[in-house]
Chain A
Amino acid sequence: MTAAPAISPGLPVEVGDIDRQLGLLWENSDAAKVRASLVNLVIYSEAADAIAANTPLLSAIAADHAFRALLVQGQPDAGKSGVHAWITAHCHLREAGKKEICSEQLTFQLDGPAAGRLPSIVFSHLDTDLPLYLWWQGDLHPDPDPELWRWVDRLIIDSHSWSAPARQFRILQEVQSLSRPRSALCDLNWTRLFHLRYAVAQIFDLPAALERLGRLDHVDIAHAPGHRLTALQLLGWLASRLGWHLDHGGDGPVFRRRDGGHVVSRLHEERDASACVPSVRLGLGDASASVRREENADYYLAEFTAPDRAPFAQMLPAGREKTSDILLSELSRISRHPLFWPSIRAIEPLLS
């Protein structure tokens, strides 16, 4: 097997000849390589650079999580209908002396009316019996195709890239209604917040912090340019977990607590932020809690100060923020994200 440059989709093949060509690819490979797959990972994108951007990403993911990838670039606005296909494999040596582990990538470019044939392309090339994960990049189509969605085991989206989040979340709900009950939804923007939510939660394992949680009155979240929605999801998580209701929106949304008190929130953009959400600070009356990530740090610093106790500080993993790392994090946790929709609903009026 010849190793394709990571950015290349590999060997051009006829669509009807893919299975045979894949067979040849493995027949001609050396014995030190082994094909592996845990999931069918389908990526659909209509971006002009979809293939060039996703091929290296798949190569990076393959190092830790074996798959059969179907990378599909849809170009519905292209004049002439056509389907182009390539095959390649991403091989990684995980341990010296062991075989290289290879994941297959099948790449399709669907031009013009052929872009509407996504289900046909996907269903013809899945690895039998393995779960189907569909990562839909960019905006969802307004008229979801039930034929496709009902076979998806895990739908992955990244709301961070959406142009009109309020509308997109409505489409997403429709898509979910078409899916099987067992299928899961994952917003990578929500996954991005996992370590931050974990660090915030860790502070409130301290009795002194927990007893003040009901009196939380200020939330201050810094976010990188383009990550207001990420910060909003964090705010939504706090609001849904603590039973707040939005009182009024605007630049500084105010929530009403269960006890009738108010929580004033502030989301502010940090131009030079090196993380999507580099810090969150919570005012708790006479005490305060904060989680922040210094530039290029691998860890968050979670802190709590109150007049009646010694300051608390703990370092907690911050995770990486490259898209491939976020996706890997999702693939390795396989959560069903039961708190996602309640968090979105808590900040729904703030989405538009």
Chain B
Amino acid sequence: MSEAVANPLRVNLVNRPVPDPCVVVIFGATGDLTRRKLIPALYNLAADGNLPSSLAVVCFARRDKTSESFREELGEAARKYSRRPVNDELWSRFAANIFYHRSSFDQADGYTSLGNELDAIDERLGTRGNRLFYLASSPTEFDVILENLRASGLSHAKPGAWSRLIVEKPFGTDLPSAHRLNDAVAAAFPESDTFRIDHYLGKETAQNIMVLRFANTVFEALWNRRYVDNVQITASEPLGVESRAGYYEHSGALRDMVQNHLLQLLCLTAMEPPIDLGADAVRNEKVKVLQALRPLTGEAVARNVIRAQYTAGFINGREVPGYRQEPGVAPESLTETYVALRLHIDNWRWAGVPFFMRVGKRLPKSGTEIAIQFRGTPPVLFNRESKLQDPNVLVIRIQPDEGISFRMAAKMPGAMLQLEPVKMDFHYGTSFGKATPEAYERLLLDAMSGDATLFARRDEVEHAWRFIDDIRAAWHDGAAPRLDFYPAGSWGPREADELLAQDHAVWRRL
């Protein structure tokens, strides 16, 4: 980045770091992620003028293709998945710097020839030896790719250049596998050059959580055990397991969603203000939240975790099968498609405040949100027992319809003193009409610029796995909870409602 900083014409043009010229090397480039997300994201960055002056993409995969044929395939994908219409001339200039490198992941020669190709690209296009390696392959291939990157010397940055790694989730399937993966990563790349993608962190609303909390006096002052009754984090979707049964049967909702996305949202919601907005300052605070999470083991799992699976039901009036009837799912499957948890963060700010989390498939509607439920007013004046008022709720909607709403009480017009809850509602789409960039655009740009703030650090991932593994261990030890069931199209099992009832709380209806 030194050249970009030294460029006096760059000053004050944009208020973000300028990405360095580089080559993006995508491993497993023939997969869906490259077509649906990565290439459209890179194209949109090009269309916005956000790419560095020189950028090339090398697609590393096993299948027999040529650069020309692969460019055509990617062109079709870009036209289908890009958030903006594709400009033919821009695409052809962008695509001219996409190259297909055919090799199996375990073939040492393939990495030697990759190195030669990258050097030639540097010479031809001025990419200055900067490499961004993207692991978009199956996780089972990560080890061999990392080992070959290390052995071939490609992971080692050349003098004055950088070599970075982007890893797609899942970052392991449990703590030991996460350790192994992280060790393999660390053997090839320093942590400072490792970017673990959790695309939730690239979403505008997730980024806005810190802004809401730390750029507004009023919220942070109330953001603690004195005023907050409970916090509810929900990720619901009406979709079933679709074509992912093979993966989902092994993963389940806890590992698929809670270990990464939901715990990340929890961290952003509960963390202390960082000393600055740098990557490590922010991630240090997130890690402290995970460290303060009260571990759930043995009987505590039974008391605080509900796991369930959907049975046949109706979504939008359409009959849908139960999970065990889905193609690719074992008829006796015990995989959870729904999890509800009651968590406690044992620190000064949050002691005694339950954090409820739920994630589920085949729920009535799609939505991810964080709801801060405030304490009620004292039982005098308006909040007497006969006329209990709904407490204030601040809701941060992550997706869809990103926005923030606040519920409060207001007097209904008329001679009677009648109070009704009303909602102040801010919708991103209403206020800011322009299309927001896809999460992958922001994350790729940040990785090219070396900003790791929106990426998960090793210790975050491992702390999250430690917490999740305890729960899974209790499930497998037979220490309960049992698997409950809920009909598709409902808001989850009755037991999840009872979990909240113990704290005199109820789940929000989205």
Contact = CB atoms under 8 A, between A and B. Distances in A.
A210 B89 CA distance: 27
A98 B6 contact: no
A241 B18 CA distance: 18
B54 A66 contact: no
Given A195-B49, A314-B53, A315-B90, 19 more contacts: A36-B431, A64-B433, A94-B429, A197-B9, A200-B9, A201-B10, A205-B7, A205-B21, A205-B53, A207-B128, A210-B3, A210-B6, A309-B126, A313-B93, A315-B93, A332-B434, A335-B12, A338-B12, A339-B11
A213 interface: yes
B430 A66 contact: yes
A17 interface: no
A202 interface: yes
Most A CB atoms within 10 A — which of B12, B48, B93?
Answer: B12
Interface string B95-133: 000000000000000000000000000001010100000
Contacts of B52: 205
Interface string B1-28: 0011011111111110010010000000
Interface string A219-257: 000000000000000000010011000000000000000
A121 to B, nearest CB: 26
A contacts with B: majority SS: mixed
B53 A213 contact: no
Contact of B431 (A66, A316, A335): A66
Contact of B429 (A98, A195, A207): A98
A101 interface: yes
Nearest to A243: B8
Interface in A294-352: 298-299, 309-310, 312-317, 332, 335, 338-339
A199 B49 contact: yes
Interface residues of A, number: 46
A99 B427 CA distance: 11
Most A CB atoms within 10 A — which of B8, B11, B15?
Answer: B8
A289 B8 CA distance: 16
B53 A202 contact: yes
A313 B94 CA distance: 11
A206 interface: yes
B502 interface: no
A338 B15 CA distance: 12
Most A CB atoms within 10 A — which of B3, B4, B52, B53?
Answer: B53
B247 to A, nearest CB: 31
Contacts of B46: 315
B48 A317 contact: yes
Chain B contact patch, size range = 20 to 34
Interface of B: 3-4, 6-15, 18, 21, 46-49, 52-54, 87, 89-90, 93, 124, 126, 128, 429-434
18 contacts: A94-B429, A95-B429, A101-B430, A101-B433, A194-B13, A200-B9, A202-B49, A205-B10, A206-B126, A241-B11, A242-B8, A299-B89, A314-B93, A315-B46, A317-B49, A335-B12, A335-B15, A339-B11
A44 B420 CA distance: 42
A154 to B, nearest CB: 17
A198 interface: yes
B18 to A, nearest CB: 7
Interface in A18-42: 34, 36, 38
Most B CB atoms within 10 A — which of A99, A299, A338?
Answer: A299
Nearest to B128: A207
The 3 closest A-B pairs by CB, nearest first: A64-B433, A201-B9, A205-B53
A198 B8 CA distance: 12
B510 to A, nearest CB: 17
A335 B18 CA distance: 17
A343 B432 CA distance: 31
A201 B128 CA distance: 18
A69 interface: no
B433 A94 contact: yes
Contacts of A317: 47-49
Contacts of B4: 205
A63 interface: yes
Most B CB atoms within 10 A — which of A63, A99, A315, A335?
Answer: A315
A65 interface: yes
A207 B49 CA distance: 19
Contacts of A315: 46, 89-90, 93
A156 interface: no
A136 interface: no
B53 A312 contact: yes
Contacts of B124: 310
A106 interface: no
Contacts of B126: 206-208, 309, 312
Most B CB atoms within 10 A — which of A65, A197, A317?
Answer: A317
A263 interface: no
